[in-house]
Amino acid sequence: MSNEVRPNSRDRLLEAAAARSYLDGVHVGVEALCKAAGVSKRSMYQLFESKDELLAASLEQRAPGFAARLLPPDDDGRSPRERIRYVFERVEKEAAAPDYRGCPYLAVQVELKDASHPASKVAHRVKEGLTSFFRDEAARGGASDPELLARQLSLVFDGASARAGIRADAPAGLLAPTVDVLLDAAGVR
């Protein structure tokens, strides 16, 4: 007899939505989500108003883990420059995994193309959190224009994760020199 606790229906749906939408896209069907979660459609609609709400809740639930994987710990002794570079080192490492499909939050925004969609709103907020991290570190590092640098770094992040996600390019060896040029030009220490 196992002491393992089986996740409840809600948790299984959130997990299935995260996994299936990452691998198959946000337009994965309700039947496929319910089958992956081992939950009936009736149960899904009792727990979530719609598939859109399920997707948004799944992205929301995953946001802390996304940030924890990418961002260095607070007050870890690294310089602002090293803290920014850390994010791109993480992207390089994640992009090397065979099941890497890019940034899940960027993918949602690109696939949905609707800023008012509940999942788009979550994705936008998470992506803005990354840009804010870049902005704060750029300011701490003495950047001449922290806002501009943050936007440039976000562009590099999104471009690298998208190209790696579709297997158009591997970011290894490209990100560090690209980021260094931006950091140098902005005067970040």
Question: Distance (Å, rounded) from C-alpha 185 to C-alpha 20?
Answer: 41
- Output the pLDDT for position 5: 59
- Output the pLDDT for position 53: 97
- Which pairs count as long-range contacts for 181-184, CB under 8 Å and 24+ apart, including other chains? 182/149, 182/152, 182/153, 182/156, 183/81, 183/84, 183/85, 183/141, 183/149
Question: Distance (Å, rounded) from C-alpha 126 to C-alpha 121?
Answer: 9
* Four-CA torsion 57, 58, 63, 68, nearest 10 degrees: 150
Regions in the chain scoring below 70 on pLDDT = 1-6
Question: Distance (Å, rounded) from C-alpha 106 to C-alpha 162?
Answer: 8
- Output the pLDDT for position 3: 61
Q: Which two tokens stand for residue 186?
A: 């902005």
Domain 52-186 belongs in CATH node 1.10.357.10: yes
Tens of pLDDT, residue by residue over 130-164, are 999 999 999 999 999 999 999 999 999 999 999 99
32, 59, 89 from 176: Cα distances, Å: 39, 28, 8
How is the chain split into domains, by residue range?
Answer: 52-186
- Output the pLDDT for position 7: 78
Angle formed by the axes of helices 30-37 and 9-24, nearest 10°: 130
Q: What is the pTM of this model?
A: 0.92
- Output the pLDDT for position 4: 63
